Amino acid sequence: MKITKICCIGAGYVGGPTMAVIAQKCPHIQVTVVDLNEQRIKDWNDPNTDNIPIYEPGLSQIVAEARGRNLFFSTEVDKAIDEAQVIFISVNTPTKTYGKGKGMAADLKYIELCARQIAKVAKHNKIVVEKSTLPVRTAEAIKSILDNTGNGVQFQILSNPEFLAEGTAVTDLLNPDRILIGGDTTPEGEVAINALVDVYANWVDKDKILTTNVWSSELSKLTANAFLAQRISSINAMSELCEKTGADVNEVAKAIGMDSRIGPKFLKASVGFGGSCFQKDILNLVYIAKSYGLNEVADYWEQVIIMNDHQKRRFSNKIVQTLYNTVADKKITFLGWAFKKDTNDTRESAAIYVADDLINEQAKISVYDPKVSRNKMLSDLDYLQTRSVEENSNALTIFDNAYEASKGAHAIAILTEWDEFTTYDWHKIYDSMHKPAFLFDGRNILDAKEVESIGFIYKGIGS
């Protein structure tokens, strides 16, 4: 089966970049990304590709090359579904905020709506690909909807989870560690699997393309994110012990990272992990374990989340305690609001929760982030529903550069590891601040001794 037309439902952080790379590497395939959000599609179609809605290094150049040739962004969902042989489902799967599984289970209402729309529109056989991160056995539910509400059309359901890290998504797509494709072991399932393998084989070595059954593929994504998050919580737990014992968490991380059995990745102490995946996926894993009565398994993974939440609170508490147990009416400057560098994604960013804690203590927060807008920062705080929209707006001031944001500040807190922060004239920043001037490096990106030599009272994670 030769694929010539692909449709992706969902123009977000997964669907947009993934389809852009597929279109660039497969000029013989027409790729259409659809979304009901008209503004988002308008932004993807902006003539200036630097203004596309998602910031990822290298993404705007790829979009510029493929858009209008074989990459299209549209709100005509039914048309794209009808024409495509392969339909990727790449919509949001947030944690449920209601009913059974509230606060843990994945909310699959958008997945079900996609399945029902595909079933209603499809007139020819389709391959439907799960691209969103989903609970194990979701494919079974999708297939049930398609087979029982369709028009006699035959559907093959594949699981093709993404393993992208925001900030390096383009690099991850161009040079993946692996591509995972799960499907039925029936002859029809094998045909569908091979069709998708052939798409990726246009630029990925077939040795890196793994095929499994659907359930293994679905669970592999949750497991991968759980293991990565576990490493972060583990080193953050040790950072607190380092503070008490006089050990240096960076030296400890380097020492254990040189063990070939452990390795150095995801061993950087920080104010905690954020992003759309880690917390959501671990909570989902906890819920699945509990639903099967595996309480010890659930408790084990839930501790990763507990430790992460503790690290965020510990950081904000450290700021209050260091500033003589009060931050009321004091200006605290945040450098960074995105959950990590090289992305404009703020979902579950540590900055949101640290800001929330400090505003509760009546601090005045000034923020500079090179890619996050004021409206996004305010909406992040408003989403917590801790206080009124007006109170958040009065407590948060956004600046266009770090130098202005730091003037008159009592303290600076580095919440995102943007590379540009390491290039600043810290003498100039220090001179403009209220004295004594404190610097809290929540991402451990500055040299502590150098910063202290300028005059800052330095408080990094683990110090």
Listed in sequence order, the DSSP H helices in 201-277 are 214-245, 249-257
CB 182 within 8 A of CB 71: no
Alpha-carbon radius of gyration of the chain:
24
Considering only CA atoms, which of 367, 429, 427, 368 is closest in space to residue 395? 367
- The number of CA neighbours under 13 Å toward the Cβ of 309 is 7
Considering only CA atoms, which of 300, 237, 234, 239 is closest in space to residue 263? 234
CA distances for 330 relative to 321, 337, 426, angstroms? 13, 19, 20
> Terminus-to-terminus CA distance in the chain, angstroms?
59
- DSSP line for 169-190: HHHHHHS-S-EEEE--SSHHHH
What residues pair up with 5 in beta bridges, in sequence order? Answer: 30
d(CA 343, CA 172) in angstroms, rounded, equals 14
277 carries an active-site annotation: yes
Catalytic site residues?
277
